[in-house]
Amino acid sequence: MPTAHVDTFTRDHLPPPNEQPEFLFELPALQFPAQLNCATELLDRQVAQHGDRPCLLAPGMAWSYRELQRHADRIAHVLVQDMGVVPGNRVLLRGPNHPMLVACWFAVMKVGAVAVTTMPMLRAKELAAMIAIGQVTHALCDAALVDELRAAQLVAPTLRHIRCWHETGEGALEAAMARHDAPFVNVDTAADDTCLLAFTSGTTGIPKATMHFHRDVMAICACWPPHVLRAEASDVFTGSPPLAFTFGLGGLVLFPMSIGASTVLLDKVSPPQLLDGIRTFGATVVFTAPTSYRAMAAHRDLLRETKLRKCVSAGEALPPATRTLWRDVTGIELIDGIGATELLHIFISADEAHARAGATGTPVPGYRAEVVDEQGQPVPPRTVGRLRVKGPTGCRYLRDERQRTYVQDGWNYTGDAYAVDEDGYFHYQARLDDIIISSGYNIAGPEVENVLLQHPAVAECGVTGVPDEERGQLVAACVVLRPGYDADAAMIKALQDFVKQTVAPYKYPRLVVFVPQLPRTTTGKLQRFRLRELTATAAVPPVTQER
């Protein structure tokens, strides 16, 4: 298949064929042509059929499919003519969920470049690491968030051009867009040209970029949505995940647009704000994490007035109590689904009629899943083992040796411990490793440790997750102070603030426990299970219990 990429960086850094997963294209809907551009399929094709239908809604805004196309086409011209983007270049996108972020994403698809959408809360340090790994050359950014990006650029010189939206003046993206009004002819990309890099930090905190093709974007639209979600063109989607998280990209952009539905993009999505958005816009389909459902369920009267009919939970395990609570309050059975950045979206799930308390569901049509032992042999029913999956999408890390851990013998190993029951339902147990998952965010202990160690008061530290009703897990730090520093509430606050100022604030330790020394093995390794015991049983000063 002829690639459209002039800049062949992503193709050059695909994992070698023998390290890639096996891909399955058994469903009729997964027969893709050799040339495919997902913007043509999801945007331009929809405009041709029903351009005046509402597409993107946001506070004070409503764009039809045609209006989104007009914006995306103008931005595509700016990328090519004003910024010098060539097919295959990596373009970083930074902004809260907003119609302009979606327009920029489609513009990147149209020009045959590679979108690197980043979480709004990331700071310069994390952005610089991503720019370096992805060799990012261009960026489009909400002006309100550009400071951290400019700081990252100082240490990540591959990034040559930044343009901002929500800005006035000659240099603004809006001003440049006003100078281009011709339709844009999409670059004729190969189905297997990479169109996006999605970052995941896994267990070590060293970010990995997963690579996904135009074909992969269309494949996820053909599997879970028609077989499990079964939404309709009249539905109004909304939810909380950022578009940088593939859960959000799929649920809030790709899936609604693949069926001509509309979607509400909210930049503030705490549970009360999400509930407010659901009510104001008459949303019928919502995507969010288990903790958010738990918090929204407290507002029974407000929920009664909504038009919600489908509620999707993913990102972390759904506690059965939350499923029951949500059903009691709303009458709606949650649709749970496990997805992964490596697989792009959900691969095990159950619709409302097939939901089972404590089970994620069964493999989504198009995917196969198994639970195996250490030798890769399938285990008997109700036995805990390692989850492995294959389907039309799968793991391709950009130039990263952890490819050989995630993919073995053609299977994707997600790192989750699962058990299958007699009826073939998959029951989540735990992460096989030590990743902390708090309010749906994956947080790596060692990354937070690395930050804490840079504080002058910290001699040694270990960061782990402790169970929490509301957030799933809390980030907890065991800290050994240097002599001369006081182990008091002020120190706890100082350390928490230090983390918040250095990396994304959600990574800060909500629990801080001072210990005289850390538990270590004879070879010097931290004993994380002991850390967890220490933090779970330690007397917690009141200041750390604030939420």
Contact footprint for ligand 3UK (CB under 6 A): 200, 246-247, 314-318, 336-341, 345-346, 360, 414-416, 428, 431, 442
Strand partners, 199: 209
β 310-313/335-339 pair status: parallel
Q: What six digits make up the tokens of 66? A: 């045609």
Which residues are within 8 A (CB) of 529 and not within 5 positions of it... i.e. 6 or more apart? none
Nearer to ligand 3UK, 65 or 418 (CB): 418
Nearer to ligand 3UK, 435 or 512 (CB): 435
Nearer to ligand 3UK, 87 or 207 (CB): 207
Q: Give residue for tokens 């002829």.
A: 2
- The Cα 510–Cα 545 span in angstroms is 7
Nearer to ligand 3UK, 66 or 354 (CB): 354
For residue 95, give the nearest of 59, 68, 125, 121 by alpha carbon. 121
User: Minimum CB separation from ligand 3UK for residue 287, in Å?
Assistant: 9
User: Minimum CB separation from ligand 3UK for residue 202, in Å?
Assistant: 8
User: Minimum CB separation from ligand 3UK for residue 416, in Å?
Assistant: 5
SS3 per residue for 21-69: CCECCCCHHHCCCCECCHHHHHHHHHHHHHCCCEEEEECCEEEEHHHHH
Nearer to ligand 3UK, 186 or 442 (CB): 442
- The Cα 92–Cα 59 span in angstroms is 25
For residue 350, give the nearest of 360, 341, 340 by alpha carbon. 360
Nearer to ligand 3UK, 186 or 203 (CB): 203
User: Minimum CB separation from ligand 3UK for residue 391, in Å?
Assistant: 13
Nearer to ligand 3UK, 51 or 446 (CB): 446
**Amino acid code (one letter) for 143:** A
- The Cα 191–Cα 1 span in angstroms is 8
User: Minimum CB separation from ligand 3UK for residue 23, in Å?
Assistant: 18
Burial of 460 (0-12, 13-18, 19+ CB in 10 A): middle
User: Minimum CB separation from ligand 3UK for residue 529, in Å?
Assistant: 18
- The Cα 432–Cα 263 span in angstroms is 35
Total residues found in the chain within this entry? 547
DSSP assignments along 209-272, one per residue = EEEEEHHHHHHHHHSHIIIII---TT-EEEESS-TTSHHHHIIIIIHHHHTT-EEE--S--SHH
Nearer to ligand 3UK, 69 or 203 (CB): 203
CA-angle at 305, arms to 304 and 310, nearest 5°: 70
- The Cα 507–Cα 65 span in angstroms is 37
User: Minimum CB separation from ligand 3UK for residue 215, in Å?
Assistant: 17
Strand partners, 63: 56
User: Minimum CB separation from ligand 3UK for residue 317, in Å?
Assistant: 4
Helix or strand or coil: residue 197?
A: strand
Nearer to ligand 3UK, 113 or 318 (CB): 318
User: Minimum CB separation from ligand 3UK for residue 415, in Å?
Assistant: 6
Spatial strand order in the sheet of 54-58: 61-64, 54-58, 262-264, 236-239, 285-288, 310-313, 335-339, 346-349, 362-363
User: Minimum CB separation from ligand 3UK for residue 436, in Å?
Assistant: 11
Nearer to ligand 3UK, 47 or 133 (CB): 133
Nearer to ligand 3UK, 189 or 473 (CB): 473
Nearer to ligand 3UK, 40 or 414 (CB): 414
Which residues are within 8 A (CB) of 250 and not within 5 positions of it... i.e. 6 or more apart? 220, 221, 339, 344, 345, 346
User: Minimum CB separation from ligand 3UK for residue 393, in Å?
Assistant: 10
**Amino acid code (one letter) for 265:** L
Q: Which residue is nearest to ligand 3UK (CB)?
A: 339
DSSP assignments along 63-90, one per residue = EEHHHHHHHHHHHHHIIIIIT---TT-E
User: Minimum CB separation from ligand 3UK for residue 186, in Å?
Assistant: 26
Helix or strand or coil: residue 182?
A: coil
Strand partners, 386: 372, 417
Strand partners, 437: 442
Nearer to ligand 3UK, 65 or 255 (CB): 255
Nearer to ligand 3UK, 317 or 369 (CB): 317
User: Minimum CB separation from ligand 3UK for residue 536, in Å?
Assistant: 21
Residue 305 burial (CB count, 10 A): 10
User: Minimum CB separation from ligand 3UK for residue 254, in Å?
Assistant: 11
